[in-house]
Amino acid sequence: MERSGPYCVKMRASRDGAHVSGAERIVSAADAPAVVAQLTRRALGHPKGVPDSVNVKIESAGEIVRLKALPVATNATSTPAEGRALAAELLRGAGVTRIDEIMELFRETHAMRGAMLLDADTLERLEPDRARGVRATRMDDADSLAKGTAAAKNHFAEAIVLATKVQHAPGIVGEICVSDDPDYVTGYVATREIGYQRITVIKEKGDPAGGRIFLYRGPREQVPETIRFLERQSVLVEDVPVLPKPEGEARWDRLAADLAAVEAEGLGRRCRTSCAPTGPIAVVDGRRLLVLSSNDYLDLARDPRVTDAAADAARRWGAGSGGSRLTTGTQPPHVALEEHLARFKGCESALAYGTGYMANVGAITALAGRGDVVFSDELNHASIIDGCRLSGATVVVYRHNDMLDLERRIAGFGASRRRLVVSDAVFSMDGDMLDLPRFLDVCRRHDAFSMIDEAHSTGVLGATGRGICEHFGCGLPDILMGTLSKALGSEGGFVCGSALLTGWLRSRSRPFIFSTAPGAPAMAAADAALSVLEAEPWRAARVRENAEFLASELTRLGVGASTQSAIVPIRVGDEREAVRVSEALLAEGFLVPAIRYPTVARGSARLRVAVMSSHSREELSRAAAAIRRALTSRADARTSALQPGSP
């Protein structure tokens, strides 16, 4: 049977041929990609400087010996002389006497990448290559994965692992170590008997000299075996103590460990900078990428009619609003946009918010409180979930788009409590559509407030892009929430409904009341985008046609895909696999982020492909082919685990 792992992963970063940083780990095959990513990040972000070359090597660990960490003690010294005197005293306990002469040899360890291997009694040097020295390698903290980068970055833990391995090498009777970091004045002495004895000050601050001396006692014939053990034997060290950091810094270590654990699961997030206007082309690290994940569905964010409106508004009304809507923040563009939104959606009134997230939280918390009940679809967006949680109401989650389940659950609560039912109109990570007519019917029959989130349906659904109500030709919900940040190419959110509803929100919705009003440029841009959409309703039809075309191309290629909106989800399942596929697509020039927990349930990671009205058929065909290739190329790219940004 084929054996896979464990593996030694070694990283070495250099600049102009000189060593900058290095690290090594012993990990399972499954963890190797994440560890490669972690070590690569460490190399690229090392405080000692930016490397021009990073080598990462993965080799089979072979047989592994497990050792218990040496016991650790910290000895506070206040001067280097005091530290060296203490080192001498500690080594004398191991029968090493010529300490002063040994300390003198640290003059020569400075340029060595490895340690000096010294006969403890004759002080004869035993390394085959004196310039390099002997390197202890193939070792790791047995729990390093669980401890994450905090442990990996920690000199202390690494030194204990090394010292433990060294003291178990045949013939070794002691070690003395001085860091080569000019700012790190702590060193240690180690023997099997006294363990790892830290010496807080063993050299002068600013002194770049440092090194390691391994002390050997035994027959010369045995030296090669000692070196083999140090350089070739894989060792995992158990129970490595956690660093006693300078007082008051443990909170950051714990946070770093928590973050590292998140990253090791394939759940780390990054932001990727695109140096291009919002639109179907992104420029990342100098490479042009076809964007297949934008919510700027109608390609309006860079439309000159929209950007001119924003620029004009900035010049006329200012960049920011200067206050809450209720104090000084309401300007004519706010009022104009709200009137336009209400007309567009066929409602009496509308209210703008700074973001869609705030609109959801603001509406739900204003309409439901302690004693009330909110019914929420299990796949609703995080901002709805957060609104429900913040409201303090009883939250009842019903099965996705299952109106029978909803009805059954509503019927279980008496009409004496205020009831609100909330659902996405188009579900953001699945792209499917709410059964709105039945949803409204259930709400009406049970006298419950109906609320829908039109973030992904405004500008996309309906003959003229007015959204899900236009699509179904049905009535309106009580509360219609939407965003200015997606198809409308601007930023912000809104709530539409009756004048009574917006009047209530104006007086009761905390995110509306207690945030600075969005700036006039964002309001004017959204207003202009609405006008573009009214003049060019073909954009909405085009985005749907594009999504259907992409889904049919994928299906033709054997990749399961369907859509009811601009969103075409492609299920992958495993988080790290989704990251890998996303990266493979990136390498081919397509920007499709991997969507992972907590955005979707664990184990249901996916690619969220979203099309724009301006994508060409040719671009979508190429994308479909690339997606297929990326999904089927799993073996080749397995070792790469850089994490793309994703919500």
Interface ranges with Mg ion (CB under 5 A): 180-181
195 binds ligand WAQ (CB under 6 A): no
Residues that bind ligand WAQ (rule: CB under 6 A) add up to a total of: 23
Smallest gap from Cβ 47 to Mg ion, in A, equals 11
Let me know: does 643 contact 464? Beta carbons within 8 Å.
Answer: no
Least distance to ligand WAQ, CB of residue 42, Å: 14
Which position's Cβ is nearest Mg ion?
Answer: 180
Long-range contacts of 82-88 (CB under 8 A, 24+ apart): 82/201, 83/187, 83/199, 83/200, 83/201, 83/202, 83/203, 84/202, 86/199, 87/176, 87/187, 87/189, 87/199, 87/202
Residue owning tokens 């001498």 = 88
Neighbours of 10 (CB within 10 A): 18
Cβ proximity to Mg ion: between 212 and 615 the closer is 212
Minimum distance, C-beta of residue 20 to Mg ion, in the bound complex (Å): 10
Report which secondary-structure segment, H or E, holds 177: strand 172-178
Closer to ligand WAQ at the Cβ: 212 or 466? 212
Q: What angle do CA 121, 126, 128 make, to 5 degrees?
A: 175
Which CB atom, from 162 or from 610, has the smaller least distance to ligand WAQ? 162
Nearer to ligand WAQ, 143 or 181 (CB): 181
DSSP state of 115: B
Q: Work out whether 344 is an interface residue with ligand WAQ (CB under 6 A).
A: no
Q: Environment class of residue 292 by beta-carbon count within 10 Å: exposed (0-12), middle (13-18) or buried (19+)?
A: buried
Kindly list the distances between the CA atom of residue 57 and the CA atoms of 44, 235, 491, 528, in Å, as whole numbers in the listed order. Answer: 16, 17, 45, 55
Least distance in Å: CB of 202 to ligand WAQ?
Answer: 9
User: Which of residues 179 and 643 has its CB atom nearest to ligand WAQ in the complex?
Assistant: 179
Whether the Cβ atoms of residue 297 and residue 613 lie closer than 8 Å to each other:
yes
Q: Which partner from the list ligand WAQ, Mg ion, none does 540 bind, CB cut-off 5 to 8 Å by kind?
A: none
Q: Counting contacts by CB under 6 A, is residue 198 touching ligand WAQ?
A: yes
Binding region for ligand WAQ (CB under 6 A) out of 167-175, 178-186, 330-338, 390-398 = 178-186
Position among 33, 83, 211, 518 found at the interface with ligand WAQ (CB under 6 A): 211
CA angle 126, 130, 136 (to 5 degrees): 75
Examine residue 115 and tell whether it contacts ligand WAQ (CB under 6 A): yes
Is there binding between residue 212 and ligand WAQ (CB under 6 A)? yes
Q: Are 567 and 426 in contact (CB under 8 A)?
A: yes
Which amino acid appears at position 363 of this protein? A
Q: Please choose, out of 2-10, 208-216, 373-381, 559-567, the segment that lies near ligand WAQ by the rule CB under 6 A.
A: 208-216
Helices (H), 106-154: 106-109, 144-147, 149-152
Window 215-274: residues binding ligand WAQ (CB under 6 A): none
**Strand residues in 254-304 grouped as ranges (E):** 281-284, 287-291
Least gap, CB of 22 to Mg ion (angstroms): 9
| CB closer to ligand WAQ out of 162 and 570 | 162
Cβ-based nearer residue to ligand WAQ, 112 or 505: 112
Kindly state the smallest distance separating residue 159's Cβ from ligand WAQ, in Å.
4
Cα-to-chain-centroid distance, residue 71: 36
Tokens of 612: 């724009």
Burial of 560 (0-12, 13-18, 19+ CB in 10 A): exposed
Side chain identity at residue 522, one-letter code: A
d(CA 132, CA 110): 11
Residue-wise over 316-327: b if at least 16 C-beta within 10 A, else e? ebeeebeeebee
- Asked if 578 contacts 605 with a C-beta cutoff of 8 angstroms, the reply is yes
Which segment (112-120, 270-278, 334-342, 445-453) binds ligand WAQ by CB under 6 A?
112-120
Closer CB to Mg ion, residue 180 or residue 303?
A: 180
197 counts as binding ligand WAQ under rule CB under 6 A: no
- Least Å distance, CB 33 to ligand WAQ, is 24
Rounded least distance, CB 96 to ligand WAQ, Å: 18
Q: Least distance in Å: CB of 136 to ligand WAQ?
A: 4
Applying CB under 6 A, which of residues 167, 179, 233, 307 lies at the interface with ligand WAQ? 179
> Looking at the DSSP assignment, which residues form a beta bridge with residue 189?
176, 197
b/e sequence 11-33, b meaning 16+ C-beta within 10 Å? bbbbeeeeebbbbbbbbeeebbb
> Which residue in 498, 491, 548, 573 sits closest to 525, CA to CA?
491
Q: Does 187 bind ligand WAQ (CB under 6 A)?
A: yes
Binding-site partner at residue 156 among ligand WAQ, Mg ion, none, CB < 5 to 8 Å by type: ligand WAQ
Binder of residue 334, out of ligand WAQ, Mg ion, none (CB less than 5 to 8 A by kind): none
Contacts of 233 (CB under 8 A, 6+ apart): 65, 138, 165
The Cα 177–Cα 169 span in angstroms is 16
- Regarding 136 and contact with ligand WAQ (CB under 6 A), the answer is yes
In contact, 547 and 607? CB cutoff 8 Å: no
Instruction: Decide whether 174 or 211 has the Cβ nearer to ligand WAQ.
Output: 211
- Is-contact 359 406, C-beta < 8 A? no
Structure tokens at 431: 């792209």
Residue 125 in contact with ligand WAQ, rule: CB under 6 A: no
Note whether 137 binds ligand WAQ by CB under 6 A. yes
CB of 108 to ligand WAQ, least distance (A): 10
Q: Using the rule CB under 6 A, is 12 a contact of ligand WAQ?
A: no
Query: Considering only residues 130, 132, 155, 408, which one is a binding residue for ligand WAQ as defined by CB under 6 A?
Result: 155
Query: Which region, judged by CB under 6 A, interacts with ligand WAQ, from 167-175, 183-191, 380-388, 427-435?
Result: 183-191
Q: Determine the Cα–Cα distance for residues 118 and 110; give it in Å rounded to an integer.
A: 16
Tokens 């970091």 sit at which residue?
181
Does 363 interact with ligand WAQ (rule: CB under 6 A)? no
Residue 112 touches which member of ligand WAQ, Mg ion, none, C-beta under 5-8 Å by kind: ligand WAQ
Confirm or reject binding of residue 126 to ligand WAQ (CB under 6 A): no
Does 112 sit near ligand WAQ (CB under 6 A)? yes
- Whichever of 115 and 517 has its CB closer to ligand WAQ, that residue is 115
Q: How far apart are CA 46 and CA 641, in angstroms?
A: 19
115 contact, one of ligand WAQ, Mg ion, none, CB 5-8 Å limit per kind = ligand WAQ
Q: If binding is defined by CB under 6 A, does position 551 make contact with ligand WAQ?
A: no
* Rounded Cα gap, residues 513 and 353, in angstroms: 10
Residue 159 binds to ligand WAQ (criterion: CB under 6 A): yes
Which two three-digit tokens encode residue 544?
A: 């749907």
Chosen residue from 109, 233, 360, 643 binding ligand WAQ by CB under 6 A: 109
CB of 375 closer than 8 Å to CB of 518: no
Query: Using CB under 6 A, which of the segments 186-194, 266-274, 469-477, 607-615 binds ligand WAQ?
Result: 186-194
Distance from chain centroid for Cα 404: 37
Return the number of the residue (22 or 195) whose C-beta is nearest Mg ion.
22
Residues 116/211, Cβ–Cβ less than 8 Å: yes
Binding site for ligand WAQ (CB under 6 A): 109, 112, 114-115, 135-137, 155-156, 159, 162, 177, 179-181, 184, 186-188, 198, 210-212
